Amino acid sequence: MSPPGATPTIGTADLVQDLLRPAAYPWRPPTVDLITTHISWVFLAGDRVVKVKRPVAFGFVDHSTRERRHQSCQDEVRLNRRLTSNLYLGVVPIVRGEDGLRVDGSGPPVEWATLMRRLPATGMLDTLLAAGTAPADLAERLATRLLPFHRDGAGDCGATGWGAPAATFRVLTDNLDELRPFAGAVLAPGQLALVEQALRTFLADHRARLSERAATGWVRDGHGDLRAEHVCFEPDGTLQIFDCLEFNPAFRCADIASDLAFLLMDLERLGATAVAAALLARYRAAGVLLPDDLVRLYRAHRALVRAKVACLSIPSIGTGTGPGRDSQPSDRVDEAVTYVDLATAAALTIRPVLLVMTGLSGTGKSTVAQRLARALGASLLASDRVRKDLAGVAGAAPAAWGEGLYDARWTEATYRALFARAATALAAGQPVVLDATFLAPTQRQGAAAVAARAGGPLLLVETICDEATVAARLAARAARGDSPSDATLTTYQRQRAALAASPPPVPPGAVTVQVDTSAAGLITLDPVLAALVGAGVLHPSVPAHDADARDPAR
């Protein structure tokens, strides 16, 4: 109990527990659910949402006092009304009543909250994309809503302290500094260092150009957190773009290329690459100058921002998540790794190169192959999928190694198709990852010939793992039924025996790398990336921009 005249206070654990009671809300929701983020508690209370700022102080946000949290709520409502309609209802006090805390009650506030109308979860853009039910004209609808905002609704802040080039540099470099403690524990240190070098070099080399962008009106007071989960299509077709970044104007005042790049990066993460390309093209056609290298810079930066948020949400490493519904720590680690891979693809320059996975079934070849393709922006060609495409088989086709769909005839046809598709992609200037076992000398020789004709090196990436982990991994994969592979533990054991009896030779000039995928350790791409740098095909530099992308008049 606070003394007379004192400002009432309450502990955070008590606040959270009290607001989980339906009786705390005047509209009496049937249930209350909690979502915890790194800076907020979000209470889903019936048809409304009550959002309370957590009393945290990071380098990028200071909610350490109630006054700061109150101001943040007010800013949240004011700024989010720019891209929403009838969604943000206002800022409400949380007061102490006779039976506990009450939202929007009478009396001295112990805390403040943002009150919102609850949007349908089924209308969120990330949900729609996952279900394959996003509007066919998604890019056009996004452009129709966002273009006027970026050109006219978002104020020009290039001449302000928040929008000055020095502030832009500080936002990007501070984020790099804040990520560094997670190197080794969550993120691969070598990979993170390459991305950091590319971004810092770009900033140093393009200071005058970024100053010109600010001076010519391309730095605007934008959304700041423009991601698919902050886009919602309501049942009546209303497009709501909500949850802008209100707590730090330095993050929100950014180049239009940066604000848009957040959404482009997120669309690509969710598999909507064509939508991202169409949206970018729509902006350029409307006269918005979006040089490709700037878009890539900001894609990398925004991906690293999300990687940092994921790391901060891992209880043993970041701030902890407290009570409530949230992802498991392993999910947050996977999320952080995914975002760093996306940042890598955006920030680094890579020449056409052929990366060939090799190793026994169940040792994690496909997992590493998928990550390499994501981190390098490479074409991924998997033998399991190509084999079944050739055979016209959609589901499982179990057979012993060397029999049925896996006999010599089908295997030879599969590798021929892999090599043909790889040659086409390499000729188009793309790096390629081939996901197969490549345990036979003829298979490796064929890959070497493809690489030689393309004029680039061959990199053999071998995955290794202990048998116990392989057995558990194959059993789990079979139970899920979500893999095109039909390999079993017997397959692994037969391959291991054959390999021990007759190890396949390494083609002349090929570079070999091992990646340990054992469950006990962090799977890192560092050895592969280091080999690519050493071979002269991967460079820590943002690719030079395309003049046509820079100037729509050309």
- What is the per-residue DSSP string for 368-405? HHHHHHHHHT-EEEEHHHHHHHHHT--S-----TTSGG
C-alpha to C-alpha distance for 294 and 258, rounded to whole angstroms: 8
Per-residue model confidence (pLDDT) at position 548: 41
pLDDT in tens, 301-359: 999 999 998 998 887 655 443 333 344 568 889 999 999 999 999 999 999 999 999 98
Per-residue model confidence (pLDDT) at position 88: 98
Q: Classify residue 191: in a domain, yes or no.
A: yes
| Alpha carbon distances (Å) from 345 to 62, 63, 186, 338, 423 | 32, 34, 19, 11, 21
Q: Classify residue 3: in a domain, yes or no.
A: no
- Are 144 and 233 part of one and the same domain? yes
Q: Which tokens sit at 371? A: 């990550």
- The DSSP secondary-structure symbol of 244 reads -
pLDDT in tens, 395-422: 555 544 455 566 788 889 999 999 999 9
- Are 511 and 425 part of one and the same domain? yes
| Alpha carbon distances (Å) from 144 to 229, 263, 283 | 18, 15, 10
Rg (CA), the chain: 26
Per-residue model confidence (pLDDT) at position 547: 43
Helix (H, G, I), strand (E, B) or coil at 233: strand
Average of pLDDT values for 487-503?
Answer: 82
Q: Which tokens sit at 178? A: 């804040």
- Are 133 and 174 part of one and the same domain? yes
Per-residue model confidence (pLDDT) at position 251: 83
Q: Classify residue 347: in a domain, yes or no.
A: no
**Most confident among 68-77, 92-101, 434-443 (mean pLDDT):** 68-77
Nearest CA-CA partner of 250 in 226, 219, 272? 219
DSSP secondary structure letters along 18-41: HHTSGGGSTT--S-EEEEE-SSEE
- Sign of the Cα torsion 209, 212, 218, 220 reads positive
- Are 309 and 165 part of one and the same domain? yes
Average of pLDDT values for 167-175?
Answer: 90
- Are 487 and 453 part of one and the same domain? yes
463 vs 394, more confident: 463
CATH number of the domain at 490, please: 3.40.50.300
C-alpha to C-alpha distance for 231 and 242, rounded to whole angstroms: 7
CB contact at 8 A, 55 and 43: no
Q: Which residues pair with 358 in a beta bridge?
A: 462
- Least confident span in 149-158, 275-284, 524-533, 535-544: 149-158
Residue finishing a domain among 100, 118, 136: 118
Residue finishing a domain among 84, 118, 152: 118
CATH number of the domain at 137, please: 3.90.1200
Q: Which residues pair with 43 in a beta bridge?
A: 34, 50
Q: Classify residue 345: in a domain, yes or no.
A: no
Q: Classify residue 346: in a domain, yes or no.
A: no
C-alpha to C-alpha distance for 268 and 448, rounded to whole angstroms: 31
Residue 357 has φ and ψ, to the nearest 5°, of: -75, 145
Number of domains present in the structure of the chain: 3
Q: Classify residue 214: in a domain, yes or no.
A: yes
Q: Torsion-angle region of residue 155: left (phi > 0), alpha (psi -120 to 50) or beta?
A: beta
Per-residue model confidence (pLDDT) at position 550: 41
Q: How confident is the model at residue 82 (pLDDT cuts 50, 70, 90)?
A: very high
- With b for 16 or more beta-carbon neighbours within 10 A and e for fewer, the 21-42 pattern comes to eeebbeeebeebebebebbbbb
pLDDT of 196 over the 50 cut? yes
- Are 378 and 322 part of one and the same domain? no
pLDDT in tens, 508-532: 999 999 999 986 557 899 999 999 9
- Are 389 and 335 part of one and the same domain? no
Q: How confident is the model at residue 23 (pLDDT cuts 50, 70, 90)?
A: very high
Q: Classify residue 160: in a domain, yes or no.
A: yes
104 half-sphere exposure, CB direction, 13 A CA radius: 16
Q: Classify residue 4: in a domain, yes or no.
A: no
- Are 272 and 391 part of one and the same domain? no
Nearest 5°: the CA angle 60, 269, 340 is 50
- Are 188 and 327 part of one and the same domain? yes
pLDDT of 393 over the 90 cut? no
- Read off the pTM: 0.87
Residue finishing a domain among 92, 118, 144: 118
- Are 462 and 528 part of one and the same domain? yes
Q: Which domain holds residue 369?
A: 352-536
- Are 132 and 114 part of one and the same domain? no
Per-residue model confidence (pLDDT) at position 403: 52
- Are 30 and 167 part of one and the same domain? no
Mean pLDDT of the chain: 88
pLDDT in tens, 207-254: 999 999 999 999 999 999 999 999 999 999 999 999 999 988 888 899
300 half-sphere exposure, CB direction, 13 A CA radius: 33
Per-residue model confidence (pLDDT) at position 549: 44
C-alpha to C-alpha distance for 291 and 217, rounded to whole angstroms: 15
